Structure 1
Amino acid sequence: MSSTTAMVFPGMGPSNFSEVGKFMVLDPYVRRRLKLADEALGFSLMDRFYEAKSDYSEYTQAAFLVNSLALADRAVDTLGIRPAVCVGPSFGQKAATVYVESLDFADALRMTMEMARCEEEFFASVYSDVVTQSVVRTPGDRLEELMAGLRERGELCEVSGRLDHNFFLVSLRESALDELKAGVRDMGGYSMYTMRPPVHAPAFGTLRAKAEREVLDRYEVRAPSLPVIADQDGSVVETADAMRTMLLDTFDRAIHWPDAVAGLQRLGVKRLVVAGPDNLFRRLDCTTKNFEVLAFDPKSTVKQLTTPVRV
C-alpha cells in the first residue's frame, strides 16, 4: 500500500494565530515539534507567531512549517504507512525538504525565516507594486490573449502558476489589476484573492540570485531519501543538486500542479496524504479525480482532539 502513497505538503495561504493557535496548543505532535523549534531558534516560536502582524511574516512561515511537519508525523502514526514519494508545491517544498531528510529540521526553520526576510527586503525596493492574482473558471487560451495584450503595452504580466485546467496565478503590477479582473470577468471567469508579496514569476530572477547568495549557499542540501516530484514540471528529484535547484526555482518558475500530478501518476501513486493547513490543493479537480485524498489539517485535528469519547 505504501508504495502507491505520496506525502503532500501544501502551499501556504494567509495564516494567523487565531486560525491555528488552538491546534498548536492541543496537538502533542505540534508540541513536540515546537520544543525542537524553540531549542533551535533560541526563543519561543509560539510567542513570536502570536505577536506577528503579517500573514506571511518570518514567524508565521516558520509556524506553518512546524504545523505541516507535525501533521505529517500524525498522519504516519495514524495510518501506519510510510509514503514512498513526496511533493511540496510552492511553500510546501520547505516541509518536503525536511521530510525527505535533505535538510535537518533546525536548518530548514532557519532557512525559512531567512528566506522570508530576504523576500521582504527584495519586495520593499524591487517590484514593490507587483501582486499575484488567482483566477478560476478561466480558459487558458483566452487568458493568454488578455495577458499578451497587457505585455504589448509594456506591462509586466506573467503566469506564476497553473493549478488546474482553468485555475491560474498571474503576476502583474497593481495598476493593471482592475483591467485583468475585468477581462477575466468578461470571459466568464472569477478573480479570487490577491497575494502580496507576489510569487513564482519569471521576472524575479534577481530575487532567486539574492536568495541563493544570501541564504541557500549557507546550507548543505543533501540528496533526498525519497523521490520528490518538482512542482514546476513534474520531474523526479533524486539528487542534492536537483533539490537545491528546485528550492531556487520556486522564486522564478511557475507552479504547474497538473504536471506534478502527472509525475506522481508516472510513479504509480494512487493515494495522497495531504499534511498541512490546506483548502486548495486537496480540493482541485486534477487532484480529486486522480487520487484518493486523505487530509490531515488543523481544523479536523482539533475536532478530533476535543470530541468526547463515548464509553
Structure 2
Amino acid sequence: MKTAYVFPGQGAQFVGMAKDLYNSNETAKNLLERANEQLGFRITDIMFDGTAEELKQTKVTQPAVFLHSVVLALMMGDELKPDMTAGHSLGEFSALAAAGALSFEEALDLVSKRAMAMQKACEKQPSTMAAILGLDDNVIKEVVNGITDTTVVAANFNCPGQVVISGTIEGIDRACEQLKAAGAKRALKLAVGGAFHSPLMEPARAELAEAIDNAKFITPKCPIYQNVTAKPSTDPVEIKENLIAQLTSPVRWTESVQAMIGDGAEKFVELGPGSVLQGLIRKINRNVELEGRQ
C-alpha cells in the first residue's frame, strides 16, 4: 500500500501547539530550541502560551505551523517512509523538508523569509480572502474572471464545493454578492491579513524568488506533488520554480490529492496541527485510509 504524507498550511495553528512534543520528546525539544536560536526569538513561547492574536501574525504563524509539522516528521526517524508528499500552501515547505529536499535549517529560513515577505505585501495593500461553499469550480472562476476593474481570483481549490477566493476588499465583497446570487450556499470572509495566492502577492514573490534561488535543494527521496501543477516532481530546479510561482498562483489541492490517488496512494497521513486536510481528503475521496499525528 502506498502512503502519502500531507502537511497543513496557515490557519491550522492553535495556542499550545507542539507543547506536548517539546515536553515529552528529546528530538522535538532540540529541534524547537534550534529554531528559537535560528529565528532570533522564542517562537515556542508564543506557540505554547501566547495569545491567539499573537499566533495569528503571518510572520509567527507560518514558522509555527512548519515547525509543528516537520518536528513530527523528524521524530519518526527511520519510520518515516513516504511514497509521496504534498503540503497545502505553506505546508509544501514542510513536505519538502520531510522528503529530504531541504534541510531543517534551510526550510525554516525560507519559511521565515516567506512569512516576512507576505506580511509586507499584506501591509502594502489592504486585501482579504473568502471561502465559497456549495458552488461548482467553473462557476466561481467565471464570476471572478468577470470582475476586471479590481483584483479578485480563485486562490484555493480545496475540495469539491469549497473554493477560497482572494483579492482586494472591494473585489471580495463584490464577488461574494455575485457568487451568492449564482447559487453559493455560503460566502464567508476569512480572518486573514491579505490576499494570498493572488497577483497582490507579487512583491512577496519577487522577494522570495531570490532566497529560493540561493537555497540548497537536493533530490527528494520521493515525489512532491506541488500546488502549482498538481503533479509530482523530484527535480530540484522544477521544484524551485513551482515554489516561487506558488505565492501568486492557486493551490490546486483537489487535483493534487486526485493525482496521488491515481498514482497509487491508498493511505494519507497528516502531520501537523489540526486535521483540516483529513477533512478535505475525505470530501475528495471517501475510499482512502486517513491518519493524523499532532
User: Normalising by the residue count of structure 1, what TM-score does the alignment of the two structures yield?
Assistant: 0.82
Distance, in Å, in 2 between the alignment partners of 1:46 and 1:89 is: 23
The 3-state SS of whatever aligns with 2:155 is strand
Aligned to 2:251: 255
- TM alignment of 1:234-245, pairs within 5 A: 234-245=230-241
Q: Which residue of 2 aligns with 1:169?
A: 164
Contact 2:268 / 2:289 at 8 angstroms: preserved in 1?
A: yes
How many residues were matched structurally? 287
Displacement of 1:95 after TM fit? 0.8
* Preserved CA contact (<8 Å) 1:11 1:278: no
Displacement of 1:176: 3.6
Task: Report the residue type matching 1:98 in the other structure.
Answer: A
Structure 2 residue matching 1:158: 3-state secondary structure? strand
* Residue-by-residue CA offset, 1:257-293 (whole Å, 9 max, x unaligned): 1210122023211101110113422102444424211
User: Are 1:89 and 2:88 matched, yes or no?
Assistant: yes
The amino acid of 1:88's aligned partner reads G
Alpha carbons of structure 1 residues 108 and 145: separation in structure 2 relative to 1, 3 Å: closer
Distance 1:224 1:21, change over 3 A: closer
Coordinate RMSD, CA, aligned: 2.5
Which residue of structure 1 lines up, in the alignment, with residue 62 of structure 2?
Answer: 61
CA distance in 1, matches of 2:285, 2:189: 22
Residue in 2 aligned with 1:160?
Answer: 155
Displacement of 1:107: 1.6
The one-letter code of the counterpart of 1:216 is I
Aligned pair in 2 of structure 1 residues 5, 124: CA closer, same or farther (>3 Å)?
same
Amino acid at match of 2:194: P
1:1-311 superposed matches below 5 A:
1=1, 4-13=2-11, 15-16=13-14, 18-20=15-17, 22-28=19-25, 30-41=28-39, 43-47=41-45, 49=47, 50=49, 53-73=54-74, 80=79, 82-125=81-124, 128-151=125-148, 154-186=149-181, 187-194=183-190, 195-213=192-210, 215-284=211-280, 285-297=282-294
2:260 maps to a residue whose letter is L
Quick one: distance in 2 between partners of 1:278 and 1:143? 28
* C-alpha distance after superposition, 1:193-251 (max 9, x if no partner): 413222111453443222113x2233122221211111233211111101211211221
Distance 2:286 2:12 in 1: 26
The separation in 2 between residues aligned to 1:209 and 1:256, in whole angstroms, is: 21
SS of the aligned residue for 1:255 comes to: coil
1:309: which partner in 2?
none
CA contact (8 A) 1:14 1:55 kept: no
Aligned amino acid, residue 62 of structure 2:
Q
How far has the Cα of 1:115 moved from its partner?
1.6
Q: Distance in 1 between matches of 2:287 and 2:197?
A: 25
Once the two structures are aligned, what percentage of the paired residues are identical? Answer: 19
Where does the alignment leave 5 or more consecutive residues of structure 2 unmatched?
none
Taking the aligned partners of 1:155 and 1:196, their CA distance within structure 2 comes to 18
